[in-house]
């Protein structure tokens, strides 16, 4: 499968670069979805669309047997690209900084590989192209609209590009692999006034700073040091002038744990700390948890063993590594809540000893040599799983 995929390298890379130049945010993936549907039409693969606004679910096989799903996400991020590549984003302030363009291209590559072997597919393979992974819970919405049904999916597989592993290496683990994650929003309200007369104000800026510091003690003093947990305040907005203490300060951030119970505990304590610190400083704090809480990604042990063996046979056992849990969140978790599955990361580290820029960084790049590897992994896992499930 890998040898055949390598012959499609230019084709897969071309799709990736087309998508990379036209990044679209969650539930706005109109052009991206059109590229997916155009490619499926060219391959003669039937599909259902739209699902979850811009999603696409394609199918192959004779329908006589088990059903396996392969998934890719399509949305980009509100980040202005700084990477010096010929195919950089043409949309200011938007970038495929998490590699979803790679994911979509690899899955289309797998669809082409499997279409050429359709007579060998005894069962059904679904190709799930979903919107809104970056905070919009597109995976949950795809499931709610039937992506895993008719026929019912018995096993699902997904890939995420990973710049921290050598090109072509595969990593994952059984059990919890990625964290439960949610958003936090805190608005501190005080009394504004002239910065030269702070005693006449109730300063929300200094109060917000105290809240940020105190939130860290939840992790350092209330959580077992051996239990991963994250509270990160990532935006702070308040004030317009250097000599004016503002009326309010708004902060947002993320909270993460390896369990939903842990996430709920952190949310409850964050609310308590923020409101009480604000009160102690004669301000008020409104705390909310907008968006969607993502559950942890739970890899089924049987599915991981199958993926590990398959990847080892394809790439060599030294290219497959078992990783510790990662505190990143992923809405692939909504699929694994419903059916057994496995989510793996694929190394896309650039050649040489240059700096490594992680996902969600404006200088993030992916080694495109990994694209046919990802396509082959998708296709091989689907065929292997159909055989194992028969």
The mean pLDDT value for 120-129 works out to 97
Q: How distant is the alpha carbon of residue 323 from its chain centre?
A: 17
User: What 3-state DSSP class applies to 222?
Assistant: helix
Total count of residues recorded for the chain = 390
Res 54: pLDDT: 98
Mean pLDDT, rounded, of the chain: 97
The mean pLDDT value for 195-206 works out to 98
pLDDT grade for 173, boundaries at 50, 70 and 90:
very high
pLDDT grade for 215, boundaries at 50, 70 and 90:
very high
Res 154: pLDDT: 98
Between CA 313 and CA 311 the distance in angstroms is 5
Domain extent listing, the chain: 2-177+296-389, 180-288
Judged against a pLDDT cut of 90, whether residue 313 lies above it is answered with yes
Pull the structure tokens for residue 350: 């650039």
CATH 3.40.630.10, domain 2-177+296-389, yes or no: yes
In whole angstroms, how far apart are CA 93 and each of 28, 234, 285, 293? 14, 18, 31, 25
Q: Which residues contact 223 (CB under 8 A, 6 or more apart)?
A: 229, 262, 266
Res 247: pLDDT: 98
Pull the structure tokens for residue 254: 């993320």
Pull the structure tokens for residue 160: 């995420």
In whole angstroms, how far apart are CA 301 and each of 18, 153, 173, 245, 247? 36, 17, 8, 55, 53
Tokens 């317009």, located at residue: 240
Q: What is the pTM of this model?
A: 0.95
Main-chain dihedrals φ then ψ at residue 222, nearest 5 degrees: -120, -10
Between CA 165 and CA 321 the distance in angstroms is 10
pLDDT grade for 214, boundaries at 50, 70 and 90:
very high
* Angle (deg, nearest 10), helices 204-222 and 260-280: 140
The mean pLDDT value for 63-83 works out to 97
Res 59: pLDDT: 98
Q: How distant is the alpha carbon of residue 30 from its chain centre?
A: 19
User: The dihedral of CA 139, 340, 64, 383: what is its sign?
Assistant: positive
Q: How distant is the alpha carbon of residue 89 from its chain centre?
A: 19
pLDDT grade for 85, boundaries at 50, 70 and 90:
very high
Judged against a pLDDT cut of 90, whether residue 353 lies above it is answered with no
Among candidate residues 96, 40, 93, the one with its CA nearest the CA of residue 368: 96
User: What 3-state DSSP class applies to 348?
Assistant: coil
pLDDT grade for 202, boundaries at 50, 70 and 90:
very high
Between CA 100 and CA 361 the distance in angstroms is 14
Percent of the chain with pLDDT over 90: 99
In whole angstroms, how far apart are CA 179 and each of 248, 295, 298? 32, 7, 9
226-256: per-residue pLDDT in tens?
A: 999 999 999 999 999 999 999 999 999 999 9
The mean pLDDT value for 87-112 works out to 98
Among candidate residues 68, 72, 148, 131, the one with its CA nearest the CA of residue 386: 68
User: The dihedral of CA 295, 22, 97, 267: what is its sign?
Assistant: negative
pLDDT grade for 298, boundaries at 50, 70 and 90:
very high
Res 354: pLDDT: 86
Res 286: pLDDT: 98
Q: Which residues contact 65 (CB under 8 A, 6 or more apart)?
A: 122, 123, 124, 386, 389, 390
pLDDT grade for 196, boundaries at 50, 70 and 90:
very high
Half-sphere exposure of 331 (CA within 13 A, CB side): 25
252-290: per-residue pLDDT in tens?
A: 999 999 999 999 999 999 999 999 999 999 999 999 999
Q: What angle do CA 338, 340, 342 make, to 5 degrees?
A: 120
Question: What secondary structure letter does DSSP report for 190?
Answer: -
* 180-288, CATH topology level: Alpha-Beta Plaits (3.30.70)
β-strands 155-162, 341-347 pairing: parallel
């Amino acid at each position: 499968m890998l040898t055949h995929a390598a012959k499609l390298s230019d084709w897969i890379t071309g799709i990736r670069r087309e998508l990379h130049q036209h990044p679209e945010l969650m539930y706005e993936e109109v052009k991206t979805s059109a590229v997916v549907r155009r490619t499926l039409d060219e391959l003669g693969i039937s599909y259902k669309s739209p699902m979850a606004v811009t999603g696409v679910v394609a199918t192959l096989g004779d329908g006589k047997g088990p059903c396996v799903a392969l998934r890719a996400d399509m949305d980009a991020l509100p980040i202005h690209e700084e990477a010096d590549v010929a195919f950089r984003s043409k949309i200011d302030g938007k970038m495929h900084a998490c590699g979803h363009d790679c994911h979509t291209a690899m899955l289309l590559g797998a669809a082409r590989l499997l279409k050429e072997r359709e007579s060998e597919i005894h069962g059904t393979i679904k190709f799930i192209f979903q919107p809104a992974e970056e905070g919009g819970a597109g995976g949950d919405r795809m499931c709610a609209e039937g992506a895993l049904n008719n026929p019912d999916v018995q096993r699902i597989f997904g890939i995420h590009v990973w710049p921290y592993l050598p090109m072509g290496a595969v990593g994952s683990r059984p059990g919890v692999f990625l964290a439960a994650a949610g958003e936090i929003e805190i608005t501190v309200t005080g009394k504004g006034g002239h910065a030269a007369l702070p005693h006449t104000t109730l300063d929300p800026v200094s109060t917000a700073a105290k809240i940020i510091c105190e939130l860290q003690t939840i992790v350092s003093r209330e959580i077992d040091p051996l239990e991963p947990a994250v509270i990160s305040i990532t935006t702070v907005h308040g004030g317009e002038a250097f000599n004016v203490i503002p009326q309010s300060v708004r902060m947002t951030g993320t909270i993460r744990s390896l369990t939903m119970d842990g996430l709920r505990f952190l949310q409850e304590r964050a609310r308590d700390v923020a409101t009480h610190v604000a009160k102690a400083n004669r301000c008020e704090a409104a705390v909310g948890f907008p968006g969607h809480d993502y559950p942890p990604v739970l890899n089924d042990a049987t599915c991981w063993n199958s993926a590990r063996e398959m990847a080892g046979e394809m790439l060599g056992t030294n290219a497959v590594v078992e990783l510790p849990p990662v505190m990143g969140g992923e809405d692939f978790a909504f699929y694994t809540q419903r059916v057994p599955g496995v989510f793996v990361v694929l190394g896309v580290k650039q050649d040489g000893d240059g700096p490594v820029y992680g996902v969600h960084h404006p200088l993030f790049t992916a080694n495109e040599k990994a694209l046919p590897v990802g396509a082959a992994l998708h296709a091989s896992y689907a065929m292997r799983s159909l055989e194992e499930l028969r």
